[in-house]
Structure 1
Amino acid sequence: MQLKSEHLAYLLLAATTLFWGGNFIVGRAVSTEIPPIALAWWRWLFALLVILPFTAKSLWQLRHPIRQHWLYLTGVSVLGVTNFNTFVYLGLQTSTATDAVLLLSATPIIILLFSRLLFKEPISNRQLLGIVLSLTGVLVIITGGVPTNIAAVFQGALSSLWILAAVISWSLYSVLLRKRSADIGGQAFFAITVVVGWTIITPFYLYEHHLLDKTLPLTVNALYSIVYVGLFASVFAFLFWNRGVEILGANRAGNFIHLIPVWALLLASLTLGESMYWFHWLGIFLIFSGIGLASLKRSTQATVTTR
């Protein structure tokens, strides 16, 4: 029996968020085995080897628009490819997958702030309250529910700062996507950002490998991890997400993003034995309450317009 297109989109988007949620689990699981920059470098090299045979021709045909927009493409490549997962993997060296994914769930609020700062999008009082609630939830998680621990974040909890840097980087990347040239299609855009982002990671990988003497172990576990983050969390996730957005539209598809922490928390409990504490639940409540408040205006508009 053939699936209806909407049902197919639901499956594809759910699978995408599962792959992305699993990325945090893998990053944490191999944190003592695979150096963080090496994991990011090999991830994007693997993804590049998979996609380049299918996109090399279009990249050559688009060489003039690519050259014309090189500064923008370099910027989004750094934010979305070089920085994001590298910062996540650096944070997961000491942070739990639970803490990391909960902090990242505040991304929609940071996107809202950048949209205001860069593109002067108005923020209503309701959205402002949502921002305050979500950021309070982030602080609750970072401090373990003890406000006086905030100083420790800047003194010793470097992992939280790496994750916050990842949130900021991805949020800025997401906001800047609206400036993408219509001349460069989705697959070509993905390919060029991977090429540029991976190239920029390379000197940091060489520094980690040669000067810090942190090498990738030649183990089956390391190989499986790189295949997962390179193929499933990168290539398949990109293809599935694009197809789901094509069927449902960006507005409806965007709601599936909130499944990422659900998958990650479930997997962290099942595979890593991580537990949820009261401050996690309080942080979740505040973050998602804030997102809900900040989204109310857009949700009502979505009933009369399509984006």
Structure 2
Amino acid sequence: MLAVTMLFWAGNSIAGRALADEAAPIALAFWRWVLALVLVTPVAWPHLKRDRAELRRRWRMILALAVTGVGAFGALLYVGLQYTTALNSILMQAAIPPLVMLFAWLALRERTTRGQLAGVLLSLLGVLVVISRGRPWALLEVELNGGDALVFTGVVLYAVYSLLLRRRPDVHPLSLLWATFTAAAILLAPAYALEMASGRQMPPTPAVLLGLGYVAVFPSFLAYLFFNRGVELIGSARASQFLHLQPVFGAVLAVLLLGETFHLFHAAGVALIFSGIGLAAWAQRRVSRRPPGSP
């Protein structure tokens, strides 16, 4: 289930890029969550009756989760994919686990070793290589692709969302999904209205309807159900390791389905990102094996 979830999430960027010339990005984000909400409501309804008091009490946290990891991330991803490649966006999303570790160290003062921090910095260097297309001096000359900047902003927000999940309301996972999907759709509605007023439309062509159906059913409804069940079965630590499959699946799909080219700077970025992930994981294992009280 977890491996299939990563395949679905990788396909989200593929669909967003494939629809870039046809579908308005905010409309795609809005209707994605509206349709996902329709799908999740029947299975979440029995739990909502029990959890509604807690959801009402923790509405600020639900709003924060909806803004960072649901509404804003999806919208920024789809808008960014109007100007950059699916391959770039997928590789940048590989930086989410290291960013979560970095933010946990900065905001929560969680114990982090030098090896883990070095791994984070190595992964971020890989992201910068991808963003600058192998030309780091572009970072100083402000020659970056605007789409890459939007996607990376979404990646940072999703890392914040992952951190906020540690303080999520004590409710059933389906109740939380229903609440965040609802809040995301409400938050995106004004932006959707402005997009329509500007003349951007999402014509109901077969390609658009097929793409919308995909992003609503697979990376939204089914992926969250599968991921929640996977975490329940094997734990969050082991489940999080499957996130590293997403850029692998995504790179293959981008080349095969969209005809995108895998450049040398992509290879360098991948090598740095996964080296950083490996270094951080190795450092974490060393810490977990130390006897209590050891430095």
TM-score bin, normalised by smaller chain: over 0.9
Answer yes or no: is 1:195 the counterpart of 2:182.
Answer: yes
Letter of the aligned partner of 1:254 in structure 2? S
Letter of the aligned partner of 1:288 in structure 2? F
TM-score scaled by structure 1? 0.90
User: Could you tell me which residue of structure 1 aligns to residue 151 of structure 2?
Assistant: 163
Answer yes or no: is 1:79 the counterpart of 2:59.
Answer: no
Letter of the aligned partner of 2:133 in structure 1? G
Does the 8 Å CA contact 1:23/1:229 hold for their aligned counterparts?
yes
Any runs of at least 4 consecutive aligned residues in structure 1 with deviations exceeding 3 A, and if so which?
A: 299-304
Answer yes or no: is 1:101 the counterpart of 2:87.
Answer: no
SS in structure 2 of the partner of residue 217 of structure 1: coil
2:114 to 104, 116, 125: 125
Alignment RMSD (CA, Å):
1.7
Answer yes or no: is 1:141 the counterpart of 2:127.
Answer: no
User: Could you tell me which residue of structure 2 aligns to residue 13 of structure 1?
Assistant: 2
TM-score scaled by structure 2? 0.94
User: Could you tell me which residue of structure 1 aligns to residue 166 of structure 2?
Assistant: 178
Answer yes or no: is 1:36 the counterpart of 2:22.
Answer: no
User: Could you tell me which residue of structure 1 aligns to residue 196 of structure 2?
Assistant: 209
User: Could you tell me which residue of structure 2 aligns to residue 231 of structure 1?
Assistant: 217
How far did residue 297 of structure 1 move?
A: 3.1
CA-to-partner distance for each residue in 1:195-238, whole Å, 9 max, x for gaps?
Answer: 0111100000010012x111111111111111100001111111
Does the 8 Å CA contact 1:81/1:198 hold for their aligned counterparts?
no
Cα distance in 2, alignment partners of residues 226 and 80 from structure 1: 19
Count of aligned pairs: 291
Tell me, which stretches of 5 or more residues in structure 1 are unaligned?
A: 1-11
Cα distance in 1, alignment partners of residues 70 and 135 from structure 2: 34
User: Could you tell me which residue of structure 2 aligns to residue 220 of structure 1?
Assistant: 206
Tell me, which stretches of 5 or more residues in structure 2 are unaligned?
A: 291-295
How far did residue 61 of structure 1 move?
A: 3.1
Cα distance in 2, alignment partners of residues 205 and 99 from structure 1: 25
SS in structure 2 of the partner of residue 299 of structure 1: helix
CA-to-partner distance for each residue in 1:13-69, whole Å, 9 max, x for gaps?
Answer: 111111111111000000010011011001001101111122234324322211211
1:262 to 245, 248, 253: 248
User: Could you tell me which residue of structure 1 aligns to residue 257 of structure 2?
Assistant: 271
SS in structure 1 of the partner of residue 137 of structure 2: helix
Cα distance in 2, alignment partners of residues 284 and 172 from structure 1: 23
1:68 to 54, 57, 65: 57
How far did residue 300 of structure 1 move?
A: 4.5
Letter of the aligned partner of 2:192 in structure 1? Y
> What percent of counterpart residues are identical?
38
User: Could you tell me which residue of structure 1 aligns to residue 105 of structure 2?
Assistant: 116
Cα distance in 2, alignment partners of residues 302 and 283 from structure 1: 29
Cα distance in 2, alignment partners of residues 162 and 103 from structure 1: 11
Cα distance in 1, alignment partners of residues 52 and 2 from structure 2: 31
